[in-house]
C-alpha cells in the first residue's frame, strides 16, 4: 500500500490522580496520536513519547519534528509500504524507535483492518483475556500508599508494582507486606534511581519476597545489573535497558536480568516486541508488557501483545479508569483481574471523534511543505 497522508494530533488527557516516579511527577498524559491515511484505509497509533525527555531520550515535540521532516517523507516516497518494511525504509534515521514504532503500528493497524485480522491473531496470541497489574506511583505518605493499594486490590488487580527511589523503598515495601501479607504479588520499579554503591540497600529488599526488582540502575549499565543480580536473591527485571532485540540478547547473555519488561514502543514496535518475546522464550526468561499511560489505542495493542505465550507475568495494562476519567476510545474494564483482548480488525478499538476533538490541543497533516525527501 501507499501512504497518502499522516495526521498528527496532540491530545491532553488529565489523570485521575498525579503519577509520580523517581523521574518526576505528571498530572496529565499529553498524547501524540498518529493516523495514517493509506490506499488500503486508515490506521491509528499512540506514540509513547513523554512531553519531556526525563524518562526516555525521545520526547513529544522532537518526535513530531522528526516525523514531519524525515520519517513521513521517507515512507511516502517508498513505492509500497507494509508494516514489515517500515524499519528498513526508516533505517537511515538513527535511533528514535518510539517515533518509528508509532508509524509502524499505525501502518500495521491499517493493513490488518484491510485484511480483517486482529493484532492478537497477527502476533500469535494464545489467550483471549490477560491478567493485569497496576503501577502505584510515589504518594505523599505511607497511609496514602496503603489506601491506594487497598483500593486497587478491592478492584481485583492481580499484582501491585510500587515505584521506589532512595528514601522511599524499604519502608513502603515493608508496610505493604505487613498490611496485605506474603501472598500478595508485589514488585518494585526504581526507574534507574540507584547505583551499584547502594547495593546494600537493595539487598535489604530480599527479605520481602518481591516478584522482581525493575530497573534499579542506569539504562546502559548492563554490567552493573549483572553484578547486582549476583548480590541479590530478588530477580532483576530490565525495562529502560531493553531498547532492541539486540539489547535484550546482550542482557540475557550477560546475566543482567532474569525477567524482561517489554515496552513495544522502546524496542521499535510490535514486530520487534514479538522478537524480544521469542528470544526470551527460547532462553526460558519470562516477560511482561510494560505501560506508558497509553490511551485506549495503545492499550488495545498492548493487550494483544500480552496475550502471547511467554507473557507469563501480569503486565502494566491497567483498566482505563486507573488513569483517565475520559479516554479517546471506549474504556477497558477490569473483570476478575483480567482485561479482554480486543478481537476486531486491527487494534479492534475505535477512536471517539468528538472526545478526541475536544481533547486535541494541536493538529497537523503531513507532509509539510518543504519537507526533506
Ligand atoms: O501505563 O500503567 C502504566 C504505567 C506503568 O509504571 C509504569 N510505567 O517505568 O514502567 C515504567 C513506567 C514508565 C512510565 S513513567 C513515564
Ligand atoms: Mg519500569
Of the candidates 208, 198, 213, the residue with the CA atom closest to the CA atom of residue 166: 198
- Measured in Å, residue 77 CA sits from the centre of ligand 2 at 37
C-beta 22 within 6 A of ligand 1: no
Query: How far is residue 24's CA from residue 37's CA, in Å, rounded to a whole number?
Result: 36
Q: What is the pLDDT of residues 257-284, one digit of tens each?
A: 999 999 999 999 999 999 999 999 999 9
In this prediction the pTM is 0.97
Residue 370: the pLDDT is 65
C-beta 258 within 6 A of ligand 1: no
DSSP 41-102: EEEEEEE--BSSTTSSS-BHHHHHHHIIIIIHHHHHHSSS--HHHHHHHTTTS-S-HHHHHH
Q: What is the pLDDT of residues 75-98, one digit of tens each?
A: 999 999 999 999 999 999 999 999
On the CB side of 146, how many CA atoms lie within 13 Å of its CA? 13
Binning pLDDT at 50, 70 and 90, where does residue 369 land?
A: confident
- Measured in Å, residue 38 CA sits from the centre of ligand 2 at 34
Query: How far is residue 97's CA from residue 104's CA, in Å, rounded to a whole number?
Result: 10
Query: How far is residue 247's CA from residue 262's CA, in Å, rounded to a whole number?
Result: 12
Residue 373: the pLDDT is 55
Residues of the chain with pLDDT > 70: what percent?
Answer: 99
Are 85 and 337 within 8 A, CB to CB?
A: no
Enumerate residues 6+ apart whose C-beta is below 8 A from 349: 296, 297, 300, 329, 330, 342
Q: What is the position in ligand 1's atom list of the atom closest to the CA of 322?
A: 2
Q: What is the position in ligand 1's atom list of the atom closest to the CA of 240?
A: 9
C-beta 293 within 6 A of ligand 1: yes
Mean predicted confidence (pLDDT) in 228-242: 98
Give the SS3 label for residue 116: coil
Query: How far is residue 204's CA from residue 232's CA, in Å, rounded to a whole number?
Result: 9
Q: Is residue 263 annotated as a catalytic residue, yes or no?
A: yes
> Which helix (H) or strand (E) segment is 231 a member of?
helix 222-231
Q: Which residue has the cell 509500497?
A: 80
C-beta 234 within 6 A of ligand 1: no
Mean predicted confidence (pLDDT) in 142-155: 98
Query: How far is residue 156's CA from residue 134's CA, in Å, rounded to a whole number?
Result: 10
- Measured in Å, residue 323 CA sits from the centre of ligand 1 at 11
- Measured in Å, residue 243 CA sits from the centre of ligand 2 at 13
Rounded to 10°, the helix 296-306/270-282 angle is: 30
Q: Is the peptide bond before 367 cis (omega within 30 degrees of 0)?
A: yes
Query: How far is residue 114's CA from residue 313's CA, in Å, rounded to a whole number?
Result: 32
Residue 372: the pLDDT is 56
Mean predicted confidence (pLDDT) in 109-115: 98
- Beta bridge partner(s), residue 32: 10, 47
Residue 371: the pLDDT is 60
Amino acid at each position: 500500500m501507499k501512504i497518502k497522508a499522516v495526521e498528527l494530533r496532540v491530545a491532553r488527557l488529565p489523570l485521575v490522580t498525579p503519577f509520580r516516579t523517581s523521574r518526576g511527577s505528571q498530572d496529565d498524559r499529553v498524547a501524540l496520536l498518529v493516523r495514517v491515511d493509506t490506499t488500503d484505509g486508515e490506521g491509528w497509533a499512540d506514540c509513547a513519547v513523554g512531553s519531556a525527555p526525563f524518562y526516555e531520550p525521545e520526547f513529544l515535540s522532537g518526535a513530531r519534528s522528526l516525523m514531519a521532516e524525515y520519517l513521513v517523507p521517507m515512507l511516502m516516497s517508498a513505492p509500497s509500504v507494509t508494516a514489515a518494511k517500515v524499519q528498513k525504509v526508516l533505517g537511515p534515521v538513527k535511533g528514535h524507535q518510539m517515533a518509528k514504532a508509532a508509524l509502524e503500528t499505525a501502518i500495521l493497524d491499517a493493513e490488518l483492518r484491510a485484511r480483517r485480522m486482529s493484532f492478537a491473531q497477527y502476533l500469535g496470541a494464545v489467550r483471549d483475556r490477560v491478567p493485569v497489574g497496576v503501577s502505584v506511583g510515589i504518594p505523599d505518605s505511607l497511609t496514602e500508599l496503603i489506601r491506594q493499594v487497598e483500593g486497587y486490590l478491592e478492584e481485583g488487580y492481580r499484582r501491585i508494582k510500587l515505584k521506589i527511589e532512595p528514601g522511599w523503598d524499604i519502608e513502603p515495601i515493608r508496610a505493604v507486606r505487613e498490611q496485605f501479607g506474603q501472598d500478595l504479588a508485589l514488585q518494585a520499579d526504581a526507574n534507574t534511581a540507584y547505583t551499584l554503591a547502594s547495593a546494600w540497600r537493595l539487598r535489604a529488599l530480599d527479605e520481602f519476597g518481591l516478584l522482581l526488582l525493575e530497573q534499579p540502575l542506569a539504562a546502559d549499565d548492563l554490567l552493573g545489573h549483572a553484578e547486582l543480580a549476583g548480590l541479590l536473591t530478588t530477580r532483576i527485571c530490565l525495562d529502560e535497558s531493553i531498547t532492541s532485540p539486540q539489547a535484550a540478547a546482550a542482557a540475557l547473555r550477560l546475566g543482567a536480568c532474569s525477567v524482561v519488561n517489554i515496552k513495544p514502543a522502546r524496542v521499535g514496535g510490535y514486530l520487534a516486541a514479538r522478537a524480544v518475546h521469542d528470544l526470551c522464550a527460547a532462553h526460558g526468561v519470562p516477560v511482561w508488557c510494560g505501560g506508558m499511560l497509553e490511551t485506549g489505542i495503545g492499550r488495545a495493542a498492548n493487550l494483544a501483545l500480552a496475550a502471547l505465550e511467554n507473557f507469563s507475568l501480569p503486565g502494566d495494562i491497567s483498566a482505563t479508569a486507573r488513569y483517565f476519567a475520559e479516554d479517546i476510545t471506549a474504556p477497558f474494564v477490569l473483570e476478575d483481574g483480567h482485561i479482554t483482548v480486543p478481537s476486531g480488525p486491527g487494534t479492534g478499538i475505535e477512536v471517539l471523534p468528538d472526545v478526541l476533538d475536544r481533547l486535541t490541543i494541536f493538529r497537523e497533516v503531513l507532509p509539510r511543505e518543504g519537507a526533506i525527501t
